[in-house]
Structure 1
Amino acid sequence: MTIAVTVAAAEVRLDLAELRANLQEADAGILVAVLAQVTGEVSVVDRFADRITFTPDPPEQRGSTDPETHAELVDALVEALANPRPAGAVPGDDPELFARVAPLALGTDVGAEYIGLLLEQGGFQPSQPVLPRTAKLPADFKVTIIGAGIAGMAAALECAAAGIAYEIIDRNDDVGGTWYTTVYPGIGVDTPSAYYSLSRDINGDWSSYYPQGAEYQRYLKSVADKNALRDHIRFSAEVQALRWVEDRKLWEVRTVAADGTQDVSYANVVVPAAGYLNRPRWPELAGRDTFGGVSIHSAEWDPELSLRGKKVAIIGAGCTAVQIVDASVDEVEHLTVFQRQPHWVAPRKRLTDDVPAHRRWLNAHVPFYANWNRLKSFWGTADNNYPVIVRDPEWAAEHLSISPANDVLLQMCRDYIDRVFGADTDLGKKVTPDFAPYGKRIIRDPGGYYAALTREHVDVEASEPAAVNERGILTQDGRQIDLDVIIYATGYHLDFLSTIDIRGRDGVRLAEVWGDSPSAYRGGLVPGFPNMFISSAPNYSPGHGAGHNFGVEVMVHYLMECLQLMAQREASTLEVTPEAFEAYVRHIDETMAQTVWCHTPTAHTYYRSGGRIVTAFPFKLIDVWQSHRAPNEEDLLVR
């Protein structure tokens, strides 16, 4: 027997026995939420709420109940799916209903201020406009987006939805940004996959909770294909310069193609959406160019390179090095890890990262199920995690950690070290940092990194190499290590658009305005650079939870509101005033002063440049979301 079910506006027929079998494995809290949304009956919450309990399923809370209640839930949902209400009669984004079911699905209380944010982040509704859409931009208005990674694609999708002409320019020959260009062994997503997607294009079929980069690249390609983005992308073209042309109120965009062909185009608005970690950073090591074997940077990995049976050294101990070690330890003859500074490493919370088959099936076949799974991944690492980065002065005065919440994470990481290496062992001491967790980006063990460091054919050097020579590496204490391959997992230069010659009003260069301490107002705005919205702007990345995509979607919403403001005012330019810019940056710095990054001086982190923390924002996610709902016209010059 089969029934017809509508999921994501598409009707599918489901085998009733298969549906029941998978529902038996489902999260009971989500089932209550789905049942309420499918029926539109808030009484469902009263009927089941007291019978749902929650257990940790890191970073989430799993809803459970007794077998009899679960069977009752399954029966009720099957009946509701078999007898659907008329299309549109039960909106899935009803705020009042959503507010009642959210605590049951998410496993925690949900403040009223979060409802709008969660409706969007769960993909239940698109980002809601604030300014009335009563005015139109000129027919020839054009937005140029630089970069076809997740940020550029998000901006493009919103422009398309609003009917605004756009073009994406990307130096690569396909979409995906870093997930297209970076292919080292073990590369993976360290944000939960259910959340690390666009809220308007949720993928419920991830194979892993933390998939490999190639799977994420396939997702981004599918987004481009489904939305015909390629028709608007100029591939294999690198933007060399942006110049504001005052008399035309346009940006001049200069590009060079892979074949050397140069081009000049114009746009009313430019959205630089290139990430700030692009250029590989090679360490300054004496003799680095003399090595007779293979030298390779993780960012420029050769897929043809085999490490099997090789004597390998890897320089670095960050996320990239951890993933490479985890992926290659069984292949190499011998591996030496050169660790300049240890990171805090969190253990994998599950026995396997594979997403259970029933969850993938439910995501694909049950209305709203994938939305709730995405939202649970977001909520589990959202503002409930904020206290981890905020300093408690009294606590910090007597502890390595900066607060009780931060200490919970520190103790978890220390316990992991003790379990794998043994308490007070030399190797355990080597991998133990001397700063609070989050002082530099915390790392998730893919499953076998710490275990790999204990293997007989693996050595850990708690220092950088002294020098490189033709045979290999000379250690700080004078030992020679002969090698076949040296892997440089030494990160990137922090490039906030520094590779593009950007000149605003009166020819002022953005690089000179920023110096070594870049900063921006809401929407990535900088005074003197009208109609430029920098997607991967300074202080736009969440530091305590969620993921890069959160900052991207917040910024893109703000961009669309600003474009609507221009349409309403029949304006050709929009830019932030110097006074508002300075006040906003001052607010960032004052709030940042109370965070972990300003109280872990021994931590070497790319978050810091010119004495400022320039990558992360120091605010709660809800505060950032609310402050970007609509432009404050008093802060702007709209002419």
Structure 2
Amino acid sequence: MKAQRNNEQDQVDLAAMIERASIPLLLPALVQLTGDTRWLDERYTPARPVGFSEDPTGGLEPQIRAEIRAAAVDAVTRWQKGELEPAVPDPEPTLMAALMSQCLGAPVPADYAPMLSEQLGLRPYRPESVREQLGAAGREFSVAVIGAGISGLAAARSLKTAGIPHVVLEKNSEVGGSWWENRYPGARVDVPSNLYSFSFGDKQWSEHFSQRDELSEYLIRTSQELGVRDAIRFGVEVHSARWDAERQLWVLSMTTPQGEETLEASAVITAVGLHNRPKIPDFPGMDSFAGKVVHSAQWSEDLDLTGKRVGVIGSGASAMQVVPAVVDQTAHLTVFQRSAHWVAPNDLYFQEVSEADHWLLANIPFYWEWNRFRLYWMYTEGMFPALKVDPEWDTSQNSVNGYSESLRRFYMDYLTRKLHDQPDLIEACTPSFPPFGRRILIDNGWFDVLKRDDVDLIRSGIAQITPSGVVTTGGDEVELDVLVLCTGFQQQRYLYPLEVSGIDGRQLREEWHDDNARAYLGLASPGYPNLFYLFGPNTNPPGGSYINLAEAQVRYVTDLLVTMARDGIGALEVREDVYTEYNERLDEANRSMVFALGRVSNVAPPRDSLPHLACHDK
């Protein structure tokens, strides 16, 4: 929560609270509050965080910490009394880079300053409003947003601010996307809550890593506070989108509670996400299973696992949350693992946010902002050095450079400590790819569960499903009462099952060969004017919060739509040569990243400029 003066501050022992504060967060906050740049001196520079580990002392000597805390008490006291106003509420890029570097204890390029100033709310993005211009010109211009999850809500907020007429089409009965649909036991975010949230949507999170219900409530409340719900049509599923070149608009075919309908819009933003269509494996005999089958994303609230023999297919993120959450209910639990993942410890994973932390975030000027920055860097940019393949490095040992090797050893040491008395499990749980070849998962009791006598880990493939259970490729027969599919989503089949027809009837799914989606900046494709993707191809981050990326994508798309509405541009599309050149650069970059070794293609695109787009007057 961003700091505000309030009477409750007088009831609090400020010195005691500041004693609980993080030194790396106080340093830039002090500069902004007082204007005193001595806090940027080298003697106050904290140690750089290692991995996801946090040290509130910053590794500084006690007398240095005491000096910083005393200055913070003095500055905040004067601010509370109204004797001091923030000296630098909106730092210019050079100073912002210095503040970021001091907070982190490592250099941060000034190039990051504009984006992070926006993300921290120091310089919030507000699009130009074209409401009056559209009204005065009598032009019809409207946008259809498909999906009311995180991206859709961010888009609706931005379009509303810009005064662009729009409708949000949501297939579910409520907002939230994946966080509305996924209700399996143990579901929670694997990114700190204060980072996995909108830059414009404050909340006092109850836990450092919030559970599904709190996240769902947050998204519903945010939609209410933003005033975007009137633009949302619930229970509407879009089946196809066809470009009408003569009229320069999209024609959407959809199923609504009232039946089949069509809707026309000047532009379309797809905000369908990557985790909204479960991937159901087609094992031989699947339909013959006599017990219950449930996908983790389609969990039945009345599913009773008490005393049941349960099989879980998969060992990724959802399985790692489901299994520890249900194991005490089951008679026996069997995990069918295709491949192991790197698993990181995190002491805060199940912890509630303390009252002291809540108070600091809500009452110390700029403390909330720098907490968000530090989390962002630790979980996003700070991990980038581990992704780059050193051409001189021997990658056969499951690492790609020196930093990658240090992470591999750290995760391996943790795995070995947890499973020290079961060498077979150590071997079974050791990944065959370097760290960040796939997203790092957080241990929420996974290793402890696998050691239990009533839990089996099977690495053989599945040959077939029988009425009574599973037969593996190794010939083992496992009798089951319930089969839980933690098999992920149709991520590779982007926009599936939506069918999109562009200029001259060209078919987007055919051009993508169904499961090889490509786009410029992950946002647009040539031949499909006025169509923009959020969470588009090659924009799934290997770590950190997608919400940061969603807001950046929405900013880019909104600026384009404002330009179209303001200047009377009827159709706008990315040029073929720019699209091709961008994807060649993306492929070249990927070839030098850990993704290539892990058979994953993921590169976050840079923001580019409007001249790369072909515009046509209305």
Q: Which residue of 1 aligns with 2:420?
A: 422
Q: CA deviation at 1:89?
A: 7.0
Q: Which residue of 1 aligns with 2:379?
A: 381
Q: CA deviation at 1:133?
A: 8.7
Secondary structure in 1 aligned to 2:106? coil
One-letter amino acid of the structure 2 residue matched with residue 542 of structure 1: P
Give the Cα–Cα distance (whole angstroms) in 2 for the partners of residues 32 and 348 of structure 1: 25
Are 2:131 and 2:164, in contact at CA under 8 Å, matched by a contact in 1? no
One-letter amino acid of the structure 2 residue matched with residue 222 of structure 1: R
Of 23, 30, 49 in structure 2, the residue corresponding to residue 28 of structure 1 is: 23
Q: Which residue of 2 aligns with 1:528?
A: 527
Q: Which residue of 1 aligns with 2:226?
A: 227
One-letter amino acid of the structure 2 residue matched with residue 590 of structure 1: E
Give the Cα–Cα distance (whole angstroms) in 2 for the partners of residues 580 and 103 of structure 1: 34
Q: Which residue of 2 aligns with 1:473?
A: 470
Of 448, 456, 461 in structure 2, the residue corresponding to residue 459 of structure 1 is: 456
Of 341, 344, 354 in structure 2, the residue corresponding to residue 343 of structure 1 is: 341
Q: Which residue of 2 aligns with 1:560?
A: 558
Are 1:329 and 1:335, in contact at CA under 8 Å, matched by a contact in 2? yes
For the structure 1 residues 71 and 364, does the alpha-carbon distance in structure 2 shift closer, same or farther, using more than 3 Å as the test? closer
Q: Which residue of 2 aligns with 1:68?
A: 66
> In the TM superposition, what whole-angstrom CA distance separates every residue of 1:69-108 from its partner, at most 9, and x where no partner exists?
2551343133222233687875345545534433333333
Q: CA deviation at 1:109?
A: 2.4
Give the Cα–Cα distance (whole angstroms) in 1 for the partners of residues 435 and 521 of structure 2: 28
Give the Cα–Cα distance (whole angstroms) in 1 for the partners of residues 576 and 557 of structure 2: 19
For the structure 1 residues 490 and 161, does the alpha-carbon distance in structure 2 shift closer, same or farther, using more than 3 Å as the test? same
Secondary structure in 1 aligned to 2:383? helix
Q: Which residue of 2 aligns with 1:256?
A: 255
> In the TM superposition, what whole-angstrom CA distance separates every residue of 1:185-213 from its partner, at most 9, and x where no partner exists?
1111112221111112233x222222111
For the structure 1 residues 132 and 310, does the alpha-carbon distance in structure 2 shift closer, same or farther, using more than 3 Å as the test? closer
Q: CA deviation at 1:146?
A: 0.5
Are 2:419 and 2:426, in contact at CA under 8 Å, matched by a contact in 1? yes
> In the TM superposition, what whole-angstrom CA distance separates every residue of 1:459-484 from its partner, at most 9, and x where no partner exists?
11112333222222233343332222
Q: Which residue of 2 aligns with 1:610?
A: none
Secondary structure in 1 aligned to 2:192? coil
Q: Which residue of 2 aligns with 1:278?
A: 276
Give the Cα–Cα distance (whole angstroms) in 2 for the partners of residues 501 and 27 of structure 1: 50
2:126 paired with 1:148: no
Give the Cα–Cα distance (whole angstroms) in 1 for the partners of residues 161 and 462 of structure 2: 53
Q: Which residue of 1 aligns with 2:160?
A: 160
Secondary structure in 2 aligned to 1:279? coil
Q: Which residue of 1 aligns with 2:122?
A: 124
Q: Which residue of 1 aligns with 2:217?
A: 218
Q: Which residue of 2 aligns with 1:207?
A: 206
Are 2:49 and 2:104, in contact at CA under 8 Å, matched by a contact in 1? no
For the structure 1 residues 567 and 87, does the alpha-carbon distance in structure 2 shift closer, same or farther, using more than 3 Å as the test? farther
> In the TM superposition, what whole-angstrom CA distance separates every residue of 1:384-433 from its partner, at most 9, and x where no partner exists?
31121111122135533122222122112211221111278111111112
Are 1:30 and 1:63, in contact at CA under 8 Å, matched by a contact in 2? no
Q: Which residue of 1 aligns with 2:241?
A: 242
Q: CA deviation at 1:172?
A: 0.5
One-letter amino acid of the structure 2 residue matched with residue 257 of structure 1: T
Are 1:143 and 1:270, in contact at CA under 8 Å, matched by a contact in 2? yes
Q: Which residue of 1 aligns with 2:405?
A: 407
Deviates more, 1:326-335 or 1:391-400: 391-400
Of 47, 67, 81 in structure 2, the residue corresponding to residue 54 of structure 1 is: 47
Deviates more, 1:555-564 or 1:147-156: 555-564
One-letter amino acid of the structure 2 residue matched with residue 636 of structure 1: A
Are 2:30 and 2:36, in contact at CA under 8 Å, matched by a contact in 1? no
Secondary structure in 2 aligned to 1:384? helix
Q: Which residue of 2 aligns with 1:292?
A: 290
> How much is the aligned-residue C-alpha RMSD, in angstroms?
2.7
> In the TM superposition, what whole-angstrom CA distance separates every residue of 1:332-351 from its partner, at most 9, and x where no partner exists?
22111111211222222448
For the structure 1 residues 559 and 349, does the alpha-carbon distance in structure 2 shift closer, same or farther, using more than 3 Å as the test? same
Q: Which residue of 2 aligns with 1:175?
A: 175
Give the Cα–Cα distance (whole angstroms) in 2 for the partners of residues 510 and 634 of structure 1: 21
Give the Cα–Cα distance (whole angstroms) in 1 for the partners of residues 520 and 566 of structure 2: 22
For the structure 1 residues 487 and 424, does the alpha-carbon distance in structure 2 shift closer, same or farther, using more than 3 Å as the test? closer
Q: CA deviation at 1:437?
A: 2.1
2:584 paired with 1:586: yes
Are 2:522 and 2:535, in contact at CA under 8 Å, matched by a contact in 1? no
Secondary structure in 2 aligned to 1:198? coil
Of 358, 361, 365 in structure 2, the residue corresponding to residue 360 of structure 1 is: 358
Secondary structure in 2 aligned to 1:473? strand
Q: Which residue of 2 aligns with 1:439?
A: 437
Deviates more, 1:149-158 or 1:131-140: 131-140
Give the Cα–Cα distance (whole angstroms) in 1 for the partners of residues 251 and 282 of structure 2: 37
When normalised by structure 1's length, the TM-score is 0.88
Secondary structure in 2 aligned to 1:556? helix
Are 1:38 and 1:80, in contact at CA under 8 Å, matched by a contact in 2? no
For the structure 1 residues 29 and 416, does the alpha-carbon distance in structure 2 shift closer, same or farther, using more than 3 Å as the test? closer
Secondary structure in 2 aligned to 1:209? coil
Are 1:60 and 1:376, in contact at CA under 8 Å, matched by a contact in 2? no
> In the TM superposition, what whole-angstrom CA distance separates every residue of 1:481-505 from its partner, at most 9, and x where no partner exists?
2222111111122331131121112
Are 1:569 and 1:638, in contact at CA under 8 Å, matched by a contact in 2? no
Q: Which residue of 2 aligns with 1:3?
A: none
Q: Which residue of 1 aligns with 2:317?
A: 319
One-letter amino acid of the structure 1 residue matched with residue 119 of structure 2: Q
Deviates more, 1:187-196 or 1:313-322: 187-196
Q: CA deviation at 1:285?
A: 2.1
Give the Cα–Cα distance (whole angstroms) in 2 for the partners of residues 8 and 133 of structure 1: 32
Deviates more, 1:12-21 or 1:404-413: 12-21
**How many correspondences in the alignment?**
607
Are 1:59 and 1:381, in contact at CA under 8 Å, matched by a contact in 2? no
Give the Cα–Cα distance (whole angstroms) in 1 for the partners of residues 57 and 408 of structure 2: 27
Q: Which residue of 2 aligns with 1:542?
A: 541
For the structure 1 residues 194 and 300, does the alpha-carbon distance in structure 2 shift closer, same or farther, using more than 3 Å as the test? same
Deviates more, 1:554-563 or 1:61-70: 61-70
Q: CA deviation at 1:13?
A: 4.0
> In the TM superposition, what whole-angstrom CA distance separates every residue of 1:204-259 from its partner, at most 9, and x where no partner exists?
x2222221111111111111010111111001111122111122211112221135
Secondary structure in 2 aligned to 1:270? strand
Q: CA deviation at 1:300?
A: 0.8
Task: Report sequence identity in percent.
Answer: 33
For the structure 1 residues 326 and 55, does the alpha-carbon distance in structure 2 shift closer, same or farther, using more than 3 Å as the test? farther
Give the Cα–Cα distance (whole angstroms) in 2 for the partners of residues 241 and 276 of structure 1: 18
Are 2:129 and 2:161, in contact at CA under 8 Å, matched by a contact in 1? no
Are 2:253 and 2:260, in contact at CA under 8 Å, matched by a contact in 1? yes
Deviates more, 1:563-572 or 1:488-497: 563-572
Secondary structure in 2 aligned to 1:54? coil
Are 1:282 and 1:488, in contact at CA under 8 Å, matched by a contact in 2? yes
Are 1:472 and 1:481, in contact at CA under 8 Å, matched by a contact in 2? yes
